[in-house]
Structure 1
Amino acid sequence: MPPLKFCANLSWLFTDLPEFTQRLHAAATYGFRAVEAAWLYDSDLQELQKAKKQTGLEVVLINTPPGDVTSGELGLGAVPGRETDFRRGLDLAVMIHLMAGRVPVGVDRATVAMEMEATFVENLKHAADVLSKEGILGLIEPINTRITDPRYFLDTPHQAAEILQKVGHSNIMLQMDVFHWQIMDGNLTQNIQTLFPLIGHVQIAQVPGRNEPDSPGEVNFPYLFSLLEKLGYQGYIGCEYKPLGTTEAGLGWVREYWKSHK
């Protein structure tokens, strides 16, 4: 079985370095061959490309633009009336997490669920056509509503699977963040095995603290890594966690994995 591939999430790791270009160099120094980030749109594109070339790192994932964060937006994919803004954001990204967005403040989730799902499905179909021309994979990610974001529209892997079925395009897949899946549903082994054909990207963090995989918590990551190896997962695993100390001090778990899989 080939070893798993890990990428450093530069929005969470090496944050003592103010510039994303600096974080790219740090990730390469500590052994990563790829990186991901939430948003890079405010960074100097030429400098990022220069750092990417110097380090040889692959940038595997960013999110679509969040919208107007000052008014509480976090993605526009399922937000009725913001279709044009969502589609404009597609022009900025590479392999991308197509963020669904939030249920409006003061509105019962059940009353808008059908409209938001319909908007999301249509936007995802449009995204699939746009991304297919560039050979880019689009991803949708359930975000837990119990700890992280109570108003996020897409919150369980099962809801995401139903939406993907309605979208019906193979280049729109499921982003499995173990942190969110464990909080919302648990039953990780069965869910991973059942939904594995839909999974295009994986992210990891321990539960409930969202720290390193080897920090105290609910999830047995060595077991999950072994499961993903047995299932033949070939994509990247994003390290989207909050280090308990410095990033460097918390990388023992991945160094041990690399060492044991040489």
Structure 2
Amino acid sequence: MSLRFCANISWLFAELPEFPRRLQAAASAGFRAVEAAWLYDTDPGDLRRVKEQAGLEIALINTPPGDLKHGELGLGAVPGRELEFRQGLTQAIHYAKALDCKRIHLMAGRVPAGAQRAAVAMEMEATFVQNLRHAADMLAKEGILGLIEPINTRITDPQYFLNSPHQAAAILQKVDRPNIKLQLDVYHWQIMDGNLTMNIQKYFPLIGHVQVAQVPGRHEPDSAGEVSFPYLFSLLEELGYDGYVGCEYKPLGSTEAGLGWVREYLEDQR
């Protein structure tokens, strides 16, 4: 089984300022699917027309982050913001339906400024579990998979609430909904815990989406770093992973110049 790769157009093709043009560029580069963080500044009808013209699938979008200017990065686990999380979820579902997207990353959010993680952890987890159950019911009506993603707190975001696969798995057990799964971002998992082979094998039944970037620079998988991606790709193939692998990394140069590592896979998808 050959892995299927999708371009994260929030990171790749950033040479182009507009998302519709990035969709076109991804298709021209050989991708058959893309993912993105937030497309909410672009009309969903415009995005749908371009993605249909390009023959692309939209594999994944995120729920709205909240107020980025005031340091927010998702609201799923933030107490007192339940209504806004649900409003954002409704918006994400609207976009997902318009784009025929079957996966939504339900962002947890950050520990409030000035708060100690240990002091608020129980309340934030309870809020997240409640919101994820609500999301599961909403998404089930539309045939959409919800995902939660641990984000490392050592390099990327010291205040992010959900930061390890172990924490995420424990929360998924409490949520107990089959349409809420785990998003494996190799970059974050390696930084927080390492032990990638055992963790991927252990949590494989929970994994609903995969993303990749080299560690520690967060560049192309074949750039210098500590992760052997040929090995990990073989492992995912052996385990029977049939979802998309999202290319969520910062190109060292132009996006196109850095795609040599994925060309063989893209050709297999044609």
TM-score (norm 1): 0.98
1:131 to 132, 136, 139: 139
Q: Aligned residues, how many? A: 261
Q: Paired residue for 2:30?
A: 31
Query: Following superposition, which runs of at least 4 residues in structure 1 exceed 4 angstroms of deviation?
Result: 258-262
- Aligned partners of 2:152 and 2:189 also within 8 Å: yes
Matches within 5 A, 1:5-24: 5-24=4-23
Superimposed CA distance per residue, residues 199-246 of structure 1 (whole angstroms, 9 cap, x where no aligned partner) = 000000000000000000000000000000000000000000000000
Residue 204 of structure 2 corresponds to which residue in structure 1? 196
Corresponding residue for residue 205 of structure 1: 213
TM normalised by structure 2 equals: 0.95
Aligned mates of 1:141, 1:212 — CA distance in 2: 20
Unaligned runs of at least 5 residues, structure 2: 97-102
Which sits farther off after the overlay, 252-261 or 88-97? 252-261
Match of 1:168 among 176, 179, 195: 176
SS of 2:136's equivalent in the other structure is helix
- Displacement after TM superposition at 1:177 (Å): 0.2
Whether the aligned pair in 1 keeps the contact of 2:2 and 2:268 (CA below 8 Å) is no
Q: Give the fraction of aligned pairs with identical amino acids, expressed as a percent.
A: 75
SS of 1:92's equivalent? helix
Q: Aligned-residue CA RMSD in angstroms?
A: 1.1
Q: 1:260: Cα distance to partner?
A: 7.5
Distance 1:261 1:10 in 2: 19
Q: Which residues in structure 2 correspond to 1:215-230 (within 5 Å)?
A: 215-230=223-238
Tell me which residue corresponds to 2:55. 56
- Which residue is 2:260 aligned to? 252
Partner amino acid for 2:26?
A: A
SS at match of 1:225: helix
SS of 1:3's equivalent in the other structure is coil
* Match status 1:108 vs 2:103: no
Distance in structure 1 (CA, Å) of the matches to 2:15 and 2:128: 36
Deviations 1:9-36 (Å, cap 9, x if unpaired)? 0000001111110000110011100000
Structure 2 match to 1:68: 67
Q: Are the structure 2 counterparts of residues 28 and 155 from structure 1 closer, same or farther at C-alpha, using a change threshold of 3 Å?
A: same
